[in-house]
Chain A
Amino acid sequence: MLRLERVAMRYGEGPDVLHHVDLTLNRGEFVFVMGPSGAGKTSLLRLLALLHQPSAGRLSMFGEDVGRLDQDRRAALRRRIGLVFQDVRLLDHLSVSDNVALPLRINGRDDQQSARLVSEMLAWFGLGAVAEAGPATLSMGQRQMVNVARAVVTRPDLLLCDEPTADVDGKLERRLMHLFIRLNKLGTTVVLATHSERLVERHPHPVLQVAGGRVSGPAAPSTLAAAE
């Protein structure tokens, strides 16, 4: 489903921030991405989100060579990806429900179906009461829930999460992890970048280690612990 062969990536004309990445992820896999700050975790997720082109190597996703895709095909692939940002990016001029409905509208789902899915999603997060509120009125935790709800409402084939539990309390962290695992069981491939070793220990999924722009793994968490 996702294959990187000797992939390198750089920002603009700068030096490579990822080097010779070889990685294969199959449908339904759940991997953590770990590594120190500035190691390249976010760059790897941005590459997988098709925000950047590889500067070298080959990236194929859903059976298509990303380097050969035109703009429309890339957009079509992105519609199969859900992305939870580290910095919560919501559109403040839209209500909470409109923010969550946005990927559905972009996917061309009809309004009735979208309304039902959004309503279910907001109810699951306990955000039903603020559905028509503006995101600016929400707490940080609520904003993160809207951010996640928007990423998963289309039930994407690939879910990329960048530190989704960094700024939330333990209760919400458990709730979010429960959601990601449930989606994964339904067939979504999940790539979750985190600093939290506790999170990795609690959820026994393979771990990709990123250091100095190089990616190793995936390794089982137990292997990782032994190496440390």
Chain B
Amino acid sequence: MRRLAIDLRRFDLPLRQSAVSRFLPWTIGGLLYLAVVALAVAGVADEALRLYDQRTKLVTVTLPSIEDDGRSERQMAAAIEMLNRTQGVLSAVPVPPEELKALVEPWLGTAKAQLDLPLPRLIDVTLDPRARPDLPALQERLGAAIQGATIGVEALSRDRAERLAVFFRGWSSALGIAALLGLLALVGLITLASLRMNGANVELLRLMGAPDRRLAREFERHALLSSLQGGLIGFALALLTVVGLLHSSRRMDLAEAIELGLRPLDWMLLASIPIIIALLAMGVARITASWGLARIP
């Protein structure tokens, strides 16, 4: 094992001595840190959305109380029709007046609840949890059609949380993938730069009979070691950051009290990133070096 470690670090070309190459592990570490944190945030957002999706999404629409029974019925019918036309609404059912009175009894008492108090009219709306209808827009449309019509605050709060989660999932995934692609592009560029800087040494080794395959393997090994070295440091720091973020998120008061976290599969995927990236970096370095060597006569 010790022998293997020595051989892995032994380079015929001075790849570990040049300034650009020394800079490689640190840059890889930084980009990998960014990628892991971003992808972890995307994973947390995805998990939050999954938890929301598992819960039935009920929305209460409130229409203000009015004296005129005929107008009240027309308003109720218009609201129900508008709700049923909205994408993602599974059902819209008016809450019967008796049920409404039962709801206020704990506060007003039985006697007072029997009084003919003007109570708002409620509609129970069941939404498809995966459809995510635009509740603020619906609220606006309802308000325009029926003055004073509102959607329950809790539903709007959950809607905002879901939108935020969708936003973070999208942008964090994009940022994480961009960082990983940038990392691989950087490996390619540094391989090309190292190849140019080592032109005379490449010629020397070729003169001794080193085939280009062997030379390309040097760059490949260097990329692998740099990626493992920088990648593991970046990953360890990213892990600490993610754990810290999850820990501090417990103090957040999220809609429907969901708890932010990552699934075991997400943890496994995150843990595999440094290894996958090291293997990809190795491949990129080998392909780039082979391409560059083929252009050196």
Chain A contact residues, CB within 8 Å of chain B: 49, 51-52, 71-72, 75-81, 83, 89, 91-94, 102-103, 105-107
Q: Say yes or no for B157: interface residue by CB 8 A criterion.
A: no
Check B207–A106 contact: CB distance below 8 A: no
Contact check: which of A52, A76, A79, A91 meets B204 at CB < 8 Å? A91
Residue of B with least CB distance to A49: B207
Check A79–B17 contact: CB distance below 8 A: no
Check A78–B200 contact: CB distance below 8 A: no
CB distance from B65 to the nearest CB of A (A): 86
Chain B contact residues, CB within 8 Å of chain A: 11-14, 16-17, 200-201, 203-214, 297
Known: A51-B203, A89-B200. A75 touches B14 (CB 8 A): no
Report the Cα distance A94→B12, complex, angstroms: 8
Contact check: which of B13, B208, B214, B297 meets A78 at CB < 8 Å? B208
Which 5 A/B pairs are nearest by Cβ-Cβ distance? A79-B209, A78-B209, A93-B14, A75-B211, A103-B208
Check B208–A106 contact: CB distance below 8 A: yes
Check B203–A91 contact: CB distance below 8 A: no
Sampled A-B contacts (16; CB under 8 Å): A51-B203, A71-B212, A72-B213, A75-B210, A75-B212, A78-B206, A78-B208, A83-B208, A91-B12, A91-B201, A92-B14, A93-B16, A102-B12, A103-B209, A106-B208, A106-B209
Chain A residues near B210: list those with CB within 8 A: 75, 106
Residue of A with least CB distance to B294: A71
Residue of A with least CB distance to B3: A111
Check A75–B209 contact: CB distance below 8 A: yes
Known: A92-B14, A93-B17, A102-B12. A107 touches B204 (CB 8 A): no
Report the Cα distance A77→B213, complex, angstroms: 16
CB distance from B199 to the nearest CB of A (A): 12
Contact check: which of A72, A79, A93 meets B208 at CB < 8 Å? A79
CB distance from B297 to the nearest CB of A (A): 8
Report the Cα distance A79→B207, complex, angstroms: 8
Report the Cα distance A169→B17, complex, angstroms: 33
Check B207–A51 contact: CB distance below 8 A: yes
Report the Cα distance A227→B211, complex, angstroms: 44
Report the Cα distance A91→B207, complex, angstroms: 14
Report the Cα distance A77→B209, complex, angstroms: 7
Chain B residues near A93: list those with CB within 8 A: 11, 14, 16-17
Check B200–A106 contact: CB distance below 8 A: no
CB distance from B166 to the nearest CB of A (A): 52
